[in-house]
Every structure is written in structure tokens, then in C-alpha cells.
Amino acid sequence: MENPNEHIDFLESGPLAPLKKWSAKWSLWPCHFITSCCGVELAHAFACGYDGERLGTLNLGISRQSNFIIIEGTITRKMARALKFVYGQMPDPKFVNVIGACGERGGIFWNSYNITHPSDIVPVDFFIPGCPVTPESLLRGVRALQDKIMGVDKKTIEFKKVELPFEEKLEERMVPTSPKIYAPTPEIKVDVKRVVDWDFGKELEHTLRKELKGLFESITITGTNTIAIRTTPESLMEVARKLKGQMNFDHVKSVNVIEVPHERKYIVEYMASSYSVEELMPVLITIFTEIGIKNPKIQSLMSVWEGANYSERELHEFFGVWFEGNDWMGKKFLLAPDTPDLPLRKEFKIPEDRYVFEKDVEPEFMVPIEPPKDLYTPIWEEFIEEAYDSDEIVVPIGPHHPGSGHLRVTFRIKGDRIVDALPEPGFVHRSMEKLAENKLYIQNIPLFERLAINDPVNMNLAYVRTVENALGIEVPERAQYLRTILAELSRIEAFYYDAGIFSLFFGHTTGFMYCMAIREMIIEPLMHISGSRCGPSFIVPGGLRRDISDDVLGMIDNITFAIHKRAKKFESIFVTNPVTIARAKGVGVLAKEDAIRCGMVGPFLRASGVNYDVRKVAPYEAYDKLDWEVTTGDDGDCLGRFLGRLEEIRESVKIVKQGVDVVKGIKGPILSEDILGEYKEASSDIKGNFFRVFGNIVLPKGEWTTITEAARGTTLFTINSDGESNVPYRVRVMSPCWMNLKGFMEAVKGERYADFWAVYGSFGYFPPEADR
């Protein structure tokens, strides 16, 4: 960056300078380059709630037509190349604003192995703090940039310095050490036996022992609905075949690798469950085996459970475990070419937290990160060569494309038909699993919330439930209902976001705006409750951070009525629009068998006709006490998936309405006494005691798995604890979008080129959630 103000200098030059500056000021067109989750707030800033177009700032076209990049949060190593490209393609004069803490000093991902600092890559005009930023601060950034263009040098914030109190000089004090405790040789055990009252489990264990005779080393009940089968690497495949063939465990919910370096071993585990047998639905069977740390090779179970495919590729990159039979071994899938190798191994250390300024040392606020030097982004050569040999064309979409989001898909198109689609996730891979291993249990709450900030409560809940499950905490009744209400509000919010994107992908901006207006309405109570628009971090182990007042509950109650007016408008202008029906009906069909085979989750599975919803299958919070129905469909096409979710919104509204009615009658604490310990005063507001209560949570030894129904489907959290450390040993997140990627790609094949966006929108694919 020779002269970061080059563009401003250009505007200052020549006799037409005033006109140049004036026109640039009022015509800052940001390009469609969404880099991470702050894109949700960008959408709000330019939707009807704040309408950035008032300031002459219009989202139109791609880099060539625009003159402004708003970097929304994290720039991963993969995205850094795209950023360089986009900036280079843009005509001068051009401007860059960075929104969100991740793009500045890294925010919550500051020590991640896969992020870069945008300021090292492009010259940045303004940095806007927040995580996610509010639309107001985003527009403040635009205003500040307008002022800068006009040559006005004004600070947006002026601090007043005040002398600190000085009574007497203390002698030099010792500096406290880190609050984190790492066990030196943690004992990792996946199958810790637990005595639970689960009759069906005992029966199942018996059946398993009979069916798998000679193939297992041990079968252990590790908790309600979880059974662990220890086996050998050789018989892993046979166990899986048997489970699928004889026992109807037809899909895999999670694939996990745990590295235990001091015991020189990897634990490889597959978690299977069933969509076809009703009583097996809540059961999670973990089959695991141990392999040596040297030359780790294991049979891929892709041929048994196709849904394991992408997860195996991912774990291969993380740990170097070679899944024989998976054709992507040795290639990059999620990570960039210059990401450190095998980053999830324990020997790969990430920077440690610091708590004090060291004396006489120039503080280094930012972890220096070498930005990628080249612009090399591999596209698979065999894929292209094959296409060029036939009469197909190769079209890569994304990550910088008005209709791509942060995902790249490379198509082979014959005529107008998509022959093959090659997904390339990882543009928003912020390495949450690694970061979680270096954070206190409580610090992981905001971290995992960033999986999907348009569905924050469910992500938050999914993690907290896993911790609660491990600690055996019973949540007070009032908190249960409040959590249910919040989770359903979050679900509505997420579905409207997806519906908005769906309509935008059809070129229907009005539908998008209407959805964002409804979201704005739902965000309002969330803000009154937690103080944050998209990152409430409100659910904590044992309950909630503070009680919710009756005023806000009244507001939520009003919303359950008020939402219908605007929802109806959305319906008549977009949902029933004959063009929408024509575009979405019969497109991207995913048959029931395919959906099960690919291990789809959530509304997308239900749209294909499988009656599976964790809220009914293994009810949590207050779901079993409320009256609602699971929504399914038979068509499995884009329209079915879309209408199914609209129907689920209606069910969610029903749940919220009932929940509010019930919760008004329940008085009591919102935090469990089990976790509060002696801080009983905090049972309705944690303020003042937060760290004392949650700072030193240690989970009992073993593996803890919980499934939760987030908006886009089943979210699975697996936490491995050694029983001594107050940080997790390993956290495995299987987010719904990651599970759905396989089915999404299946549904695209054979459709027309333009149908990709119909399918994309109908799956509500949210890349930050998938890439983790």
C-alpha cells in the first residue's frame, strides 16, 4: 500500500474537483461482496428498517460497477484472495469500510488460524466496531466516508481523558495468571458408563450385542439416548453395515476425530441415528475406534452413509486422518492452500489470551498475520479438463457474485442444464472448533452464537444445553418457557431471513424488503431483552442472564398478532405470485430416500416427507408442554421446502403465543440453584456475579452430545471433557447447513442453470453456519 489516500487525491485534482467529490460522496455503491455474518446487518441497513439508499448508497452489480467495498467481518485466508481480486477489479476511485470486530483486530476470532486482517490486504478508509455492527453504525461509517471524501476531517468519537484516582502508591503487585486450567495429561474417554433410567436403551443394547456379535469390543450406555460401541478399525465398516442394514440406522449425524497426543492415538467416531424407525429416532449410536497417531488410516464409511462424505474430507484436513475410500483425500476442501497444516492437532498452538499490559513492552494489540501473497485459488483440474473435453462449459459462481453469498460452486453446464456441481465451502471457516478448545466454557457462548447470527438463540441454546446435559442441571420452569419463546422467535427470524434471500434470488426485492421488515419487528423484543440485535448471548447454563419483564412479554404477545398483517402482504406479493410458483414448483426435487441418504436435517428433511423434528422426537425445554405440530411435505421441491417453512413460522407463532400466556403465570427464578451455588441472590439477574458463577465450570469426564432443533435443522454439539480442565478438550459442531450441503448439491444436479438460485434459496444455506 504505497499511498492509501490515492483515491482521495484523485478526487482533489483538476478544476472539476468539487463536482468529482460531490458525485463520489453521494454515489457510493457497495458491491455484493458479503464476507461473513455481518452481512445480515448489512441487509438490514439497506432494507426498509434503515434504507441505506437514502444516502445514495445502492447495492448494485459487482465490483466492476461499484466503487465501495463494505467488508463484513471476518476475512478468512480463502476470502482474502477474493478480496484482493475484487479490490483489483474495481475502477478507481474506490473506498473500503470494514465493519465488525473480526475485520479489525479479529474480534472473537482474533487467534484463529484461518483469518487475516483486511487492513493488510487493502487500504481501509474506516473501521466500524461491533459484533455484529448495528445498521446505524454501518450508516455512520458511510457518513464518515462521505465527510472524508469532502475533505472534512472530523472524529466520530471524542474521548475525554480523566486522571485516575491516586491515593497512595502501591508497591509492585503480582500479576494474576490465566484463569484457564489445562490438565497436563488429560484422560479422554468416549464411553463413560452412566446409570440412566432408560428401558428401551437396555433392550437396544441387548439387540446390538446380538446383532454385532464378535464385531465390537464393548457396548456402553453413556446417557439417555446415547450408546457407544467400541470396535476395531478393521470391523468398523462391518459394524456400520450391520447398523444400517439390520438395525435401520440410516444416516450419520456426526463424524468426529479426537486426538490424544500423549497416548499416541486418534479416536475416530461416527454417530448414527435413524429416520425410518420411530423409536430409534432419538437414539444416537456412537461407533468409535482408536488408531495410532502415525500414518492414521481408516476405512471411509462414505459407502455406507453418504452423509459422512464432507465431514470426512474436513477431518482429513484438520487432523490428517486418511479415510480410505473417500476420493478427496490429499486435497483441500474447507481450508485455503496457505492455512497451516493439520490445525486441529494439539501440537498446533494458537496465541494465548493476555490479561495485562506488560511493563515496558510495546503492547501488540494484533496478532500479526501474514496475508496470502498469491492469488492462487485452486479449481479442480480434472473437473475442468473433463468438461472441456465434452461440449460443456465451466461456470464458477462466487464468492463474489450478486447471488452467491460466501460460497463457491463450480458448475459444468451443458446447454442450460447443470451436469455437475462442485461446492467449495470454507470461505467463512473461522475455526470455531479450535478456538473453543482454548476458551472457558462460558466464553464459548458468544463464539458459537456466531455460527448463525440470524438464528442466534437456537445456536446459543444448542451449546448451553450440551453443557447443562453434562452438568446435570435442571432449568427452572420459568426459564424453560422463556427459552422456548426466545428460540421460537429466533426461528421465525431465521426463516424470514431465508425467505427474504429466496425472494432476492428470484430478483424480487420487494419480498426481501418485506421479510426484513418482519425481522425488524422480531428483533425489537430481542433487543429489549438482551440489548443486542443479533447476538443476544442471553442463554447461559442453568437459565437466562436476567428475567424478562412483563412489558417485553406483552410486546412479544402483540407481535404474535401483529406479524400476520405484514406476513399477508408478503404472501400476496411473493408467495402466491404465479411467477414464484412457476419458478419453484417441481424444481430441485429431493426424494425421501435421497434426503435420508444424504443425511438432511430440519425443514428440508421434513419437506421430503420424513416426520422428524427434535422438538418432538426428544423434547427439550417446554416443547412437550405446548400444543404444536410438526410440518412435513411430500413434494421435496423448492416450493415445498419454502412453503413448509412458512407453515413452521405459523406453528412457531402458535408456540410463542402459548408460551407467553403460560409464562405470565409462572413466577420464580430464571437461574437454576444447581449452578448458582451460594450466589442465590442472582437467581433473577446474574449481573455482578457472572464470572463468579460461570467462570470455573468444569464438565465431568466423558463425551457429551446433545441434539437441538435450530431453525435450519438439527444442531449437534459434542463436547469432550477430561474432568479437570475448565476448557473443553474438543468440541465438535455439526451445524444444519453443513449437513444440508450434500443434499443441496444433489438437488442442483440436472436442473437448469437459473434454478441453482431457486434451490439455493430454498435450502436457506447460510455459509457461516456451514463453515463454522
Partner 1 sequence: MIDISGLISTIMNNSVNIPLLYVIYEFLLKIPVLGGIVAFLLDFSILGMPVVKSIIGFVLWKPFFTLIIIPGFATLGTMLLVLPWLERKLVGRMQWRVGPREIEPYTRGSIQLLADTFRFLFQEVIIHKDAHKHYFLQFPFLYFIPVLLPLLFINAGAAGHPLVPIQTDYALQIMIALVSLMPVFIIGAAWAANNRFSFIGAVREAFMYFAYEIPFIIAVLAMIVLYGTSNTAEVISGVNQSSWLNWGIILNPFAALTFFIAMAMATSRLPFDIPEADQEVAFGPFVEYTGIVFGLAYIMAYEKAYVLAAIMTMLFFGGGSGPVIPYLGELSYGIWFVVKTLIILLVLVNLRGVYPRYRIDQALSIGWGAMLTLALFALVWSVVVVVVIGVII
Partner 2 sequence: MKKVGTPEYDLSDKLKYHVSALSTAAKEMALPLNITTHYPRERKRQPDCFRGYMLFDPERCISCFQCSFVCPANAIWMKDAPSGRYYPTVDYGKCIFCHFCIDSCPGGALRTTKIHDVAYKTMDEMFTSTEEMIEPPEIIREDVGVVDYVIDKEDLSLKRTKEKDELIVDVEPSQGVPMVSVCVDRGSCLACKVCDMICESGAVSSVVDEAAMTVKMAIDAEKCTGCGLCVKECSMQILRLVRK
Residue ranges binding partner 1 (CB under 8 A): 11, 16, 19-20, 22-27, 47-48, 51, 53-56, 58, 60-62, 64-65, 67, 89, 91-93, 393-395, 401-403, 416, 503-511, 513-514, 517, 573-574, 577, 579-580, 582-583, 752-757
Residue 533 in grid coordinates: 440485535
Residue 218 in grid coordinates: 464393548
> Which one of partner 1, partner 2, none is in contact with 127 (Cβ closer than 5 to 8 A by kind)?
partner 2
Cβ neighbours of residue 742 closer than 8 Å, sequence gap 6 or more: 306, 307, 309, 310, 598, 599, 600
Q: Which is nearer to partner 1, 189 or 583 (CB)?
A: 583
Residues 478-517 that bind partner 2 (CB under 8 A): 510, 517
* Cβ–Cβ < 8 Å for 257, 316: no
State whether residue 618 is helix, strand or coil: coil
**Of 92, 171, 197, 199, the one binding partner 2 by CB under 8 A:** 171
Q: Which is nearer to partner 2, 167 or 370 (CB)?
A: 167
CA distances from 488 to 125, 444, 545, 751 (A): 39, 22, 18, 34
Q: Which is nearer to partner 1, 192 or 395 (CB)?
A: 395
> Which one of partner 2, partner 1, none is in contact with 172 (Cβ closer than 5 to 8 A by kind)?
partner 2
- Show the site string, 335-364: x = touches partner 2 by CB under 8 A, - = not: ------------------xxxxx-x---x-
| Shortest Å, Cβ 346 to partner 2 | 21
- Show the site string, 603-632: x = touches partner 2 by CB under 8 A, - = not: ----x---x-----------------xxxx
Q: Which is nearer to partner 1, 1 or 579 (CB)?
A: 579
* Cβ–Cβ < 8 Å for 593, 585: no
| Antiparallel, parallel or unpaired: β 297-299 and 322-324 | parallel
Which range, of 10-18, 267-275, 289-297, 554-562, touches partner 2 by CB under 8 A? 554-562
- Show the site string, 687-726: x = touches partner 2 by CB under 8 A, - = not: xxxxxx-xx-------------------------------
Which range, of 332-340, 471-479, 561-569, 714-722, touches partner 2 by CB under 8 A? 561-569
> Which one of partner 2, partner 1, none is in contact with 339 (Cβ closer than 5 to 8 A by kind)?
none
| Shortest Å, Cβ 160 to partner 2 | 4
**Of 39, 135, 307, 405, the one binding partner 2 by CB under 8 A:** 135
What separation, in Å, do the N-terminal and C-terminal C-alpha atoms of the chain show? 31
Measured from the Cβ of residue 63, the count of other Cβ atoms closer than 10 Å reads: 19
Number of residues that bind partner 2 (CB under 8 A): 136
Q: Does 125 bind partner 2 (CB under 8 A)?
A: yes
Listed residue (767, 762, 757, 62) closest to 418, CA to CA: 757
DSSP result, 725-756: -SS-SEEEEE-HHHHHHHHHHHHHTTSBTTHH
Q: Which is nearer to partner 1, 47 or 99 (CB)?
A: 47
| Shortest Å, Cβ 127 to partner 2 | 5
> Which one of partner 2, partner 1, none is in contact with 379 (Cβ closer than 5 to 8 A by kind)?
none
**Of 217, 234, 593, 678, the one binding partner 2 by CB under 8 A:** 678
**Of 2, 13, 157, 370, the one binding partner 2 by CB under 8 A:** 157
Q: Does 440 bind partner 2 (CB under 8 A)?
A: yes
Helix ranges restricted to H, 159-298: 199-211, 236-245
* The CA-based dihedral angle spanning residues 276, 279, 281, 287, taken in that order and rounded to the nearest 10 degrees: -100
Q: Which is nearer to partner 2, 213 or 359 (CB)?
A: 359
Q: Give the C-alpha separation, 708 to 704, whole Å.
A: 13
* The CA-based dihedral angle spanning residues 320, 322, 326, 329, taken in that order and rounded to the nearest 10 degrees: 50
Measured from the Cβ of residue 51, the count of other Cβ atoms closer than 10 Å reads: 15
**Of 179, 233, 723, 750, the one binding partner 2 by CB under 8 A:** 179
Q: Give the C-alpha separation, 184 to 188, whole Å.
A: 12
Which range, of 88-96, 188-196, 470-478, 566-574, touches partner 2 by CB under 8 A? 566-574
Q: Which is nearer to partner 2, 350 or 419 (CB)?
A: 350
Written as one letter, the residue type at 699 is: L
**Of 2, 174, 197, 213, the one binding partner 2 by CB under 8 A:** 174
| Shortest Å, Cβ 514 to partner 1 | 7
- Show the site string, 251-270: x = touches partner 2 by CB under 8 A, - = not: --------------------
Listed residue (399, 400, 410, 426) closest to 310, CA to CA: 426
- Show the site string, 89-118: x = touches partner 2 by CB under 8 A, - = not: --------x---x--xxxxx-xx-------
Q: Give the C-alpha separation, 45 to 52, whole Å.
A: 6
CA distances from 103 to 38, 85, 117, 340 (A): 10, 17, 6, 20
Q: Does 439 bind partner 2 (CB under 8 A)?
A: yes
Q: Give the C-alpha separation, 129 to 131, whole Å.
A: 7
- Show the site string, 48-67: x = touches partner 2 by CB under 8 A, - = not: xxxx--xx------------
Q: Give the C-alpha separation, 623 to 655, whole Å.
A: 8
Q: Give the C-alpha separation, 302 to 49, whole Å.
A: 46
